[in-house]
Chains A and B, each alone.
With several copies, the nearest count.
Chain A
Amino acid sequence: DSGSKEGPSQEEAPDVVEGDNELETDEGDAGGEKTIAFVPKQLGNPFFVAIKDAMEEEAGKEGYIFKTNAPDASTEVDKQINIAEAFIEEGVDALVLGPTDATALVDVINSAAEKGIAVFLVDSGADESDYVSYIGTDNYEGGILAAEWMGENVKGQVAIIDGFAGNEATTQRYKGFMDAIEEYPDIEVVTSDYGNGDLSMGMSVAENFLVAYPDLAGIFAVDDMMAIGAGQAVEAAGKKDSVKILGFDGQPDAAEKILEGTLDATIAQKPATMGRITVEFITAFLNGEKVDSFISTGCDIVDISNAELYKEWQ
C-alpha cells in the first residue's frame, strides 16, 4: 500500500513548498531557530523512545528546537490529535507524527499542511493526505520475512503471540506472516493469543501454549518484549532446544537474549535510522529540496551471527 501513497503526496508537494516559503520569511523576521515537534503513538515503549532519541540528537546537531509529547497509550487516538493540534496552534515548522490510526489522523495532517507546516510520518503510515514523506518499515514485509525464517528453521507446530488487539503495525506483521507461512507445508500454525506487547503477558501466554501444545516447535511473537517473555517461559519449561522463538523489532535487549541463547532470532527494524533520516528529510525539505514520499528503512533478520551489531538500536 506504500505505492498508493506516493502519487498524491507528490502532487500536493508544490502546495506545501509554498507554505514553506511563508515560514521562512517568518523565521527571518523572528531571527530564531526552527522547531520540530514529534508526536509518536506513545512514549512508554522503548522503540518510540529510540526514534525520539535519535531524532532529538540529530535535531540538536542541526540547530533545531525539538519538542515532543505523546498520548499515555497508543490507543488514545484523540489525545494524539489533541497534542498535534496544540503544536499546530503553536506554529511549529515541522510536525512529525507516528500515527495511532491511519484514517483518523488524515484531517490533522491536512490542516497542518494548510497552515504551512511540513508533516512527516514515521514508523506508521496514514491514508491519503498532505504529508511530505513517510519514513518507516513495511510491517507486512517484515511479517513475510519472519515467515521465511520460521519456514527455514522450524518444522511442526507454531504458535503466535500477537500484540495489542487492534494495533495496526502488529496486525500487519501478523498478516504478512500468515500469508507467507502458507508456502511452508511443514509448518502448522496451531494457535494465537494476544500478549499486549507486555513482557509478563507474553510469558504467561507462552506458558499456557506450552501446556496446551506439548509438541510445539516454534513461537513467533510480534514484538521483542513478548518474545523475551516467551523465551523465559520456554527456558523455565526446559524446552529451550525443542522450541524456537522469533521476535520482532530488533531491540538491544533482544540482541542480548539471542547472544545468551534464550531467543533464536528477531526481525530488526531501525528506529534510530528512522529518526535520523526524518531530520535529514526535514532539513532538505525546508531548504526547498525535493524528498521521497516514502522511504523504507528496511528489516533485517538478526540471529546469533549478527546479534552483536544490534546491541544498540539501529
Chain B
Amino acid sequence: MDKTAEKKDSIFSKLSRVSGTGALLPLLIIIIFLSIFTKSFLTTSNIMQVLRQAAVYSIMATGMTFVIITGGIDLSQGSVLALCCVTSAFTINSTGNMWLGIIVAILTGAVVGLVNGVVVAYIKIPAFIMTLGSLYVVRGLTLYITNSTQVAVQHDKFKVIGQGFLFNIPIPVYIFLIVGAIAYIILEHTATGRYIFAIGSNEATTRLSGVKVERNIIKAYLFSGICVALAAVVYLSRLSAAQPTAGQSYELEAIAAVVIGGTSIAGGEGGIFGTLVGAVIIAIIRNGLVLLGVGSFFTQIVVGLIIVGAVSLDVIRRRLAMNK
C-alpha cells in the first residue's frame, strides 16, 4: 500500500511538473460553470465545434510559444495569416491544385518567419519592434496584391481540411493535435528545444556554452511562420475565402493563449501543453458567453478578466509554492 501511494505521488508530481498544468484549474472551473448554466454546452457536437474553433488559434499559439520561450514575440502573426490565405487562395485558383496551395502557404509563412528571425538574431533589434514592423509591412503587402478585395477559393476537396470530419471528430482538431505533438517533441525531447529554452533563459550564457544562438532564434521564428501558415490553411479552408483584412489582432489572442497556458512572457519557461489548454479556454469562453446569452460587450469584458485572472492565479500559485 505504501508503495502505491508513493507511485501515485510521483506520477502526480511528475504531472505537476509538466508546464501548463496550472491552466487546467481555470479550464475545469469554466467547464463546470458552463455545464450548469447552459443546456447546450456539454453536448458532443458543441464540444467538437469549440475544439474546431480553437484550432486556428492553437496552431498559431503553438508557433508563438516557441518565439516567446526564446524571449521574443511575434506580433506579425495576424498579418501573416492573411498573406498566407491570399497566396494560397491565388495558387489554388490558378492551378486547381490544393496541395500546391498548401505548399505556397507554408512557403509564404516560412519566408516571413525567416526574415523576422534573421533580423532579430543578427541585427539584434527587439523582436517586438521587428515584428511590429512586419505587422504593418505584411498587411500593406496583402492589401496591395489583392487590391483589398477578397479572393474566393474554387475547390471542393480543399474544404474538407477545415470543415470535414474523421470518426466524428473535426479534421482541424487532428491538425492542431498533430502540430502540438510535434512541437512538444521538439521542445522537450530535442537539442533544438533545449537551446530555445536556454536562449530565453539567458542568451549570453547560452552563447558562452557554444550554442549557435542566431541559428536557433531563426528556427523559432521560422517555426512560428510555418505554424501561422498551417493555421491559415485551416482558416482558408473553413471560410473558402481569403480576406486581406483577416487575422487582425489575432496575434494578441495567440499571446493570450500562450500566457494563460503558463508560458512566461519573459522567456525561458513554458510549454506547448499549457498553450493548447489556453487556446481551448479562450474558445470555450467565447462559445460559452454566446450560449449564456451575454451580449458581445460583456464578451470582451469577460475575456479580458479571464486573461488577467488566469495569469494572476498562476503567479499567486507559484508564489505560494515558493513559500512552502
Judge A-B direct contact (beta carbons within 8 Å): yes
Which residues of A approach B to under 8 Å, CB–CB? 43-46, 48-49, 53, 67-73, 75-79, 81-83, 85-87, 89-91, 101-104, 106-107, 127, 164-168, 171, 191, 193-194, 198-200, 203-205, 207-209, 211-212, 214, 225, 228-229, 232, 236, 253, 256
The closest CB in chain B to the CB of A67 belongs to B293
Majority SS at the chain A contact face:
helix
A198 to chain B, nearest CB (A): 7
Residue of B40, B149, B159, B291 near A166 (CB, 8 A) is B149
**Contact: B46 with A77, CB < 8 Å?**
no
- 17 new A-B pairs (CB below 8 Å) besides A77-B239, A212-B40? A70-B296, A72-B300, A77-B243, A78-B235, A78-B246, A83-B286, A89-B45, A103-B241, A166-B243, A167-B245, A198-B243, A200-B235, A204-B53, A208-B286, A208-B291, A214-B40, A232-B240
**Does B238 belong to the interface (CB within 8 Å)?**
yes
Which residues of B approach A to under 8 Å, CB–CB? 38, 40, 43, 45-46, 49, 53, 56, 139, 143, 146-150, 152, 159, 163, 235, 238-241, 243-249, 283, 286-287, 289-291, 293-297, 299-300
**Contact: A166 with B296, CB < 8 Å?**
no
Given contacts A69-B289, A107-B163, contact A165 B239 (CB under 8 A): no
Given contacts A44-B148, A200-B238, A208-B290, contact A75 B296 (CB under 8 A): no
B290 to chain A, nearest CB (A): 4
B146 surroundings in chain A (CB, below 8 A): 166
The closest CB in chain B to the CB of A214 belongs to B40
**Contact: B46 with A46, CB < 8 Å?**
no
A211 surroundings in chain B (CB, below 8 A): 40, 43, 45-46, 49, 287, 291
**Contact: B246 with A77, CB < 8 Å?**
yes
**Contact: B286 with A79, CB < 8 Å?**
yes
**Contact: B290 with A101, CB < 8 Å?**
no
The closest CB in chain B to the CB of A194 belongs to B296
Given contacts A43-B296, A104-B239, A253-B152, contact A166 B244 (CB under 8 A): yes
Residue of B53, B295, B300 near A82 (CB, 8 A) is B53
